[in-house]
């Protein structure tokens, strides 16, 4: 399947997921056809942890009893007759779809967005599918155990929503060739294993521009977790975006070497503050950086969460957010209709799979217009984030010219000029 065909499928499946939200505050998208913004109260999937868990399991938040009419129909169906008394055809067995989460399903964790999108798929496909979620699953042996149980329990499609599940997925997939697996941020495929991710770096470039517009010092702080290519791409894109606005801007990086270490993330934030940074962002999976930003009145750009309830309006510049709705729906439908294949998907702004939400902090009209203009250029392909010449922060020429190909991007292990720090 070509990238163009996949894009059409994604957009058709999402029913309008392609939204930039530039110049608007974070908001829930239209209920029933689009993804609810994490943490928001609008739509069928609540932004609360309870709502996400309900969505992930395919139940309503209330989990209430059915009506008498529905109960009657269910009893009739169990006896093999229709409501009118005629013999009824046995209902098709629902497709069991597993979702493996490495963290808690709460409003500020990456698992929350995956869970909301799982709930979206359930809402769209109804009784044709049954969701089988598992949260707080650690990498390695535990992931293998949970995956094997999902397969033994009849799951025919399993989404591993974290990079750390890749090796476990590949091993278990060999044991269950009839089950289809999808590995988020992974790169190893097989006949029954596909991989998928979003081009966070495209939204990170816009976020870097936003940070540079808001910064008075020209020093930006970036709290980074583990030095995998996705994270390195994000730091580099953020720096390139900032320097497109202010050529003298620098990005100071602090590595925690953990996805979730709130104590170290706070320490990192205070350390970067002491080094003169005045705008803060992160790629870690807790609220620690945002909490320090709130307490010390620092400007902040969020990642994978809606921070409007945590930070004052004048401090929250925006958030980088993925959208998994269309992808999960299209891939689940493809298994139902027999067209599933072990694809490699890396969707971006043009596919509606990632976006930068701007606000609610004030931003000049000039800055908004420039952000919108650059976003359109990235969507249309008239601009590319990683286009040479690109020099590393060690002075080495890393990419002479042209657009950096995906196979090189996906191995990125160096930092661009303007980043203060090393990889890892």
**22, pLDDT greater than 70:** no
What's the confidence (pLDDT) of residue 108?
A: 84
| Chain segment 186-228, per-residue pLDDT in tens | 999 999 999 999 999 999 999 999 999 999 999 999 999 999 9
- Please name which of 150, 53, 419 lies closest in space to residue 272, comparing C-alpha atoms: 419
What's the confidence (pLDDT) of residue 128?
A: 98
Please report which residue ranges of 58-165 form alpha helices under DSSP H. 68-79, 110-125, 141-152
**330, pLDDT greater than 80:** yes
| Chain segment 342-362, per-residue pLDDT in tens | 999 999 999 999 999 999 999
Distance separating alpha carbons of residues 102 and 166, to the nearest angstrom: 12
Distance separating alpha carbons of residues 84 and 69, to the nearest angstrom: 13
Contact 315, 341 (CB under 8 A): no
What's the confidence (pLDDT) of residue 89?
A: 56
CA dihedral 290, 292, 296, 302 (to 10 degrees): -20
Average pLDDT over residues 123-131: 98
| Chain segment 91-117, per-residue pLDDT in tens | 689 999 999 999 888 888 899 999 999
Distance separating alpha carbons of residues 212 and 191, to the nearest angstrom: 45
Q: Token pair of 233, please?
A: 């791409």
What's the whole-number average pLDDT of the chain? 85
Which residue ranges form the domains of the chain, and what is each CATH number? 24-59+91-198 (3.40.50.2300), 201-322+355-420 (3.40.50.2300)
What's the confidence (pLDDT) of residue 411?
A: 95
What's the confidence (pLDDT) of residue 81?
A: 41
| Chain segment 237-288, per-residue pLDDT in tens | 999 999 999 999 999 999 999 999 999 999 999 999 999 999 999 999 999 9
What's the confidence (pLDDT) of residue 306?
A: 87
Place of tokens 């739509």: 43
Contact 256, 197 (CB under 8 A): no
Average pLDDT over residues 19-46: 33
* SS3 of residue 90 by DSSP: coil
**378, pLDDT greater than 50:** yes
What's the confidence (pLDDT) of residue 107?
A: 84
| Chain segment 143-173, per-residue pLDDT in tens | 999 999 999 999 999 999 999 999 999 999 9
Burial of 382 (0-12, 13-18, 19+ CB in 10 A): exposed
Strand segments, DSSP code E, in 161-241 are: 180-184, 193-198, 219-224
């Amino acid at each position: 399947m070509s990238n163009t065909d996949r894009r059409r499928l994604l957009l058709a499946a999402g029913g309008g997921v392609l939204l930039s939200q530039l110049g608007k505050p974070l908001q829930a998208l239209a209920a029933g056809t689009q993804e609810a913004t994490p943490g928001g109260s609008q739509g069928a999937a609540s932004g609360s942890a309870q709502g996400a868990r309900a969505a992930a399991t395919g139940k309503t938040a209330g989990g209430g009893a059915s009506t008498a009419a529905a109960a009657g129909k269910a009893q009739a169906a169990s006896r093999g007759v229709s409501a009118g008394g005629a013999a009824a055809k046995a209902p098709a067995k629902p497709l069991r779809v597993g979702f493996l989460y490495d963290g808690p399903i709460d409003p500020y964790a990456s698992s929350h967005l995956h869970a909301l999108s799982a709930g979206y798929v359930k809402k769209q496909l109804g009784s044709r599918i049954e969701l089988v979620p598992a949260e707080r699953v650690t990498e390695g042996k535990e992931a293998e155990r949970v995956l094997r149980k999902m397969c033994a329990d009849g799951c025919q499609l399993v989404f591993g929503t974290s990079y750390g599940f890749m090796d476990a997925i590949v091993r278990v997939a060999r044991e269950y060739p009839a089950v289809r697996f999808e590995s988020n941020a992974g790169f190893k495929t097989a006949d029954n294993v596909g991989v998928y991710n979003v081009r966070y770096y495209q939204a990170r470039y816009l976020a870097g521009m936003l940070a540079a517009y808001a910064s008075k010092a020209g020093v930006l702080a970036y709290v980074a977790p583990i030095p995998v290519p996705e994270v390195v791409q994000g730091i580099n894109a953020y720096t390139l975006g900032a320097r497109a606005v202010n050529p003298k801007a620098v990005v100071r990086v602090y590595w925690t070497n953990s996805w979730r270490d709130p104590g170290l993330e706070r320490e990192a934030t205070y350390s970067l503050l002491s080094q003169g940074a005045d705008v803060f962002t992160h790629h870690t999976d807790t609220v620690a950086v945002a909490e320090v930003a709130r307490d010390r009145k620092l400007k902040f750009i969020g990642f994978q969460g809606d921070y409007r309830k945590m930070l004052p309006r004048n401090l929250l510049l925006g958030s980088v957010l993925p959208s998994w709705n269309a992808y999960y729906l299209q891939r689940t439908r493809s298994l139902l209709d027999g067209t599933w294949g072990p694809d490699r998907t890396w969707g971006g702004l043009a596919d509606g799979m990632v976006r930068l939400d701007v606000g609610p902090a004030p931003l000049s009209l000039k800055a908004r217009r420039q952000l919108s203009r650059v976003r359109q250029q990235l969507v249309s392909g008239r601009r590319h984030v990683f286009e040479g010449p690109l020099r590393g922060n060690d002075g080495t020429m890393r990419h002479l010219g042209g657009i950096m190909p995906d196979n090189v991007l996906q191995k990125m292990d160096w930092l661009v000029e303007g980043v203060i720090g090393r990889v890892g």
